[in-house]
Amino acid sequence: MEYKTIKLEDIQNNLEFQTYIKKSNELLGVFGFTDHSAGHTGKVAHVAYEMLLQLGYSQREAELAQIAGFIHDIGNMVNRVDHAQTGALIAFQLLSNMGMHPEEIATVVSAVGNHDEKHGKAIGPISAALIIADKTDVRRSRVRNKDINTFDIHDRVNYAVEEANLKIDTRKKKNIVRLILKIDKKICPVMDYFEIFLERMILCKNAAEFLNAEFQLNINDAKIL
């Protein structure tokens, strides 16, 4: 069998992937979750891709991280619970249908299946890049609720983030992956951020180690992690 080199544009132009990502975001909207549309998946794909290139990984490894980033939340079409594992199974079938090489399929679906902090962890460079790109996408524009008076803690934490930048520093002996946040503490105390995101930040810290890097978190010009 002749396998194909699948790239992000092939995924973006695939009707099944388009539909299932759209439906995943719609289902999460019913339950009041933050935005998981192509805005989120596209950003995760871009950040994962650029991260691996900056850290010296190959073009193809970066492309696989890009694909994994774009499709990582597709399992939400079924249910939020165990969405990473469900998404891996869906992605396996669709990527097989598209003719991707089995070894690359295995790399992508294992990254998708391990991106959630409840049951997953970094198991390779593509997986590590996906985790960091996904868990650091915190921003005001992801909040769907327009009524600040009815915000839950997830809404407050995301809405409070005025600026969020992920920087890669390769100048030191050990590479640094640094998330820099500017938070409006009148909307959300820093402790609220940790209540929601501490587990995710630890996941990012462990993922960075897989990339031979150190993960750092800066909030309002103070080094927190």
- Note the pLDDT of residue 146: 87
pLDDT score of 3 more than 90 = yes
Whole-angstrom distance, CA of residue 98 vs CA of residue 4: 8
Long-range CB pairs of 102-110 (<8 Å, 24+ gap) are 102/3, 104/6, 104/64, 107/64, 107/68, 108/64, 108/67, 108/68, 108/71
Task: Write out pLDDT tens, residues 100-127.
Answer: 999 999 999 999 999 998 888 999 999 9
Q: What is the pLDDT of residues 7-48, one digit of tens each?
A: 999 999 999 999 999 999 999 999 989 999 999 999 999 999
How many angstroms separate the Cα of 91 from the Cα of each of 17, 52, 95? 9, 22, 6
pLDDT, position 224: 86
What pTM does this model have?
0.95
The residue type found at 46 is H
Beta bridge partner(s), residue 202: none
Please report the pLDDT score of residue 103 as a whole number.
Answer: 98
* pLDDT recorded at residue 72: 98
Q: Identify the pLDDT of residue 102.
A: 98
pLDDT per residue as tens digits for the range 189-216: 888 888 888 899 999 999 999 999 999 9
Residue with tokens 């409070």: 160
The model's pLDDT over 145-173, given as tens digits with 9 standing for 90+, comes to 988 889 888 899 899 999 999 999 998 88
* Distance (Å, whole) CA 219 – CA 199: 17
